[in-house]
Amino acid sequence: MEFSFKDMLNIIKKNILFMLIVAIVAAAGTYFITRLLITPVYTSTVKLYVNAQINAKTSYEELNSHNYAQKMVATYIEVLNTNHFFSKVSKKLPDKYTANYLKNNVQFSEVADTEVFSATVSCSDPIDAKTIADAVAEVAPVTIKEQFENNASLKIVDEAQLPKAPASPNPMRNAIIAFAAGLIISLIIAFLRDYFDVKIKYDNDMTVLCGLPVLAAIPEFNNDTKGNNKNSRRYSAEA
């Protein structure tokens, strides 16, 4: 069986109410589940700059200094992403912030092609997120200085801010995605239901499926209580 564009429009038109109901229910359900059942996550980010302590006198030496600093970014991230570092950060914070907790909630990432990298803290409480980010910003330069002495140092580029809204989940975005998914799924169901429906629905189905020409069409008349006739199209075929 093949669907023409006209057939597709007829299927959509016939099932539009069903499709809208499914999409709206999916969107509303997803919105409330996201809003009520999923714990929001707040993030606070601090950015650090790798300062290569090289007295550049020429542009070539300055370029080498920048290249050196960029290469050191990955090394510094590896040094900071250790139990040793997080243990030192934990000592600056209340007892509930263990080294293991910090390691699971702090994410270091490079800023592409720069000497800057960021430390992003994710917590269910916005104050916790900023508190941990401030502690990371305080301990990180000291740790790097201890490990690498005078080769380079860390400077704070952007201090951590108190998050005002959760970074995730996004109820509205999830609801829009669920609405679109509901439309697609309900449309697929409508097409499958029509595909497996063996009843003759259109006057040209008899010609296409059976190879028989339609010689006459007999309308079906329904009498209402007032005696008025209402007819609906009903086709029969003869060979």
Mean predicted confidence (pLDDT) in 192-206: 67
Residue identified by tokens 């009498």 is 223
pTM of the model: 0.68
pLDDT tens for residues 61-112? 566 666 777 788 888 999 999 999 999 999 999 888 899 999 999 999 998 8
d(CA 110, CA 115): 8
E strand or H helix at 107: strand 106-110
Greater pLDDT, 203 or 89: 89
E strand or H helix at 23: helix 5-36
pLDDT tens for residues 208-219? 556 666 666 666
22 pLDDT band, cuts 50/70/90, is very high
Give the per-residue pLDDT at 114: 85
Greater pLDDT, 149 or 173: 173
132 pLDDT band, cuts 50/70/90, is very high
Give the per-residue pLDDT at 29: 95
| 8 Å CB contact between 130 and 163 | yes
Cβ–Cβ contacts within 10 Å for residue 204, how many? 11
Residue identified by tokens 């090289």 is 54
CATH numeric code, 42-158: 3.30.70.1130
pLDDT over 90 (residue 11): no
Give the per-residue pLDDT at 99: 92
pLDDT over 50 (residue 235): no
The domain ranges of the chain are 1-38+169-197, 42-158, 199-239
**What amino acid occupies position 204?**
N
